[in-house]
Structure 1
């Protein structure tokens, strides 16, 4: 059996068990909680590699669980909700979630997303083939520690924010479309919303730029995508 453990926090028993069964078939060890308190307990006890988290939960809701996990870990967090308003998606991503899926959904699509997130998380945090340090201007990124420094001051980025920035800094001057960045960081094409990239770029700018409304590092190439400014 795959040693990777996945935590599902979902109060709808049938849905939680369905997702668990699909993931078990794929060889994952699945932990199931039906409320936020139990979810946090299992997170601390079992150290899962990924969390699937419903927004509407009894007791501690999913947004608060996401915040607490993100304070301690960079593991992928995939949020679920029955609400389809775009504001809910932005809220979910804004608290540190890596992805978002709206109910009802295909279990096969969810499994595909989970596998892609785990594959990329392992790629960015796994084997240390070099010192993993990339620097540009006042930016320094440590791939092995998932740490970012601006003018020697540590800046807290989520795993997906780090991965996006690392790609741009490692390939300064190269223009990437939203679709290319989405594929490289989220790991699947034609699934989900590529505008997620826009949300993440905005959040990265807020953390690393002196003035996020006039970014110096990440440039928008209108009608195409983004690139790291190579003229600094």
Structure 2
């Protein structure tokens, strides 16, 4: 069930939104101030936040900025009685995803929230398609970068292809000839030992100690495989 956090100091508006979202099977969390809203966001981890601009204490723009820094995957819809373009632009600059001007139709707000959640799911699915993950490693196919514990590794193009091949098929044993054909090409003329040399160099970059074989295992008489989690 989807969860919405309503940060609105006017009790009548907050209650009106709560009733309508509950009718559409949302779990609703309420807050009447920015400070309280931030605390509830951390405790409840909502899918969407409805955020009033004019709040006691810290205003909605400040709350929006803090939410976006702490929760990149939360959808934020700003609510305001002011329809001026500069306010809408300011809200978007602080990280809001959408903007609704009071008075509003609650059904429109609900539809906007559902649309925003669909876009967030599609974005997450797209990101997952563009990355490969294994333990502390994340391989970004789009940028052709590999990270270990959020730190980028300095890999050569051949080392990157080897990592991609291993992470795409964890647990599969690749022969040296398979690795040679895939990474260096069928027309490569040279010694298959080039595979062993590059595996050794790759291990030195990804293992905690260069002598370890925690991630890339040697399959004696065959080749190598990525240890399956």
State the TM-score bracket (shorter-chain normalisation). 0.5 to 0.7
The structure number with the bigger radius of gyration is: 2
Unaligned runs of 5+ in 1: 150-232
Unaligned runs of 5+ in 2: 133-139, 153-229
For each residue in 1:27-53, what CA deviation from the matched residue of structure 2 results, as whole angstroms up to 9, or x when unmatched? Answer: 110101011111011001111111110
SS of the residue corresponding to residue 100 of structure 2 reads strand
SS of the residue corresponding to residue 104 of structure 2 reads coil
- Large movers: runs of 4+ above 3 Å: 126-130, 132-135
User: TM-score w.r.t. structure 2 length?
Assistant: 0.56
1:214 alignment counterpart? none
Shift of 1:122: 1.5
1:63 alignment counterpart? 61
Are the counterparts in 1 of residues 22 and 28 from structure 2 also a CA contact under 8 Å? yes
Counterpart Cα distance in 2 of 1:86 and 1:42: 29
2:20 alignment counterpart? 22
SS of the residue corresponding to residue 12 of structure 2 reads helix
For each residue in 1:195-226, what CA deviation from the matched residue of structure 2 results, as whole angstroms up to 9, or x when unmatched? Answer: xxxxxxxxxxxxxxxxxxxxxxxxxxxxxxxx
SS of the residue corresponding to residue 5 of structure 2 reads strand
Between 41-50 and 124-133, the greater mean CA deviation after superposition: 124-133
User: TM-score w.r.t. structure 1 length?
Assistant: 0.55
2:86 alignment counterpart? 87
Shift of 1:134: 5.4
Counterpart Cα distance in 1 of 2:121 and 2:79: 23
SS of the residue corresponding to residue 19 of structure 1 reads helix
For each residue in 1:10-32, what CA deviation from the matched residue of structure 2 results, as whole angstroms up to 9, or x when unmatched? Answer: 01111111111111111110101
Number of residue-to-residue matches in the alignment: 138
Indicate the RMSD between aligned Cα atoms, in angstroms.
Answer: 2.3
Are the counterparts in 1 of residues 130 and 141 from structure 2 also a CA contact under 8 Å? no
Specify whether residues 131 and 106 from structure 1 end up closer, same or farther in structure 2 by C-alpha distance, changes over 3 A only: same
More relative contact order in 1 or in 2 (CA 8 Å, sep 6+)? 1
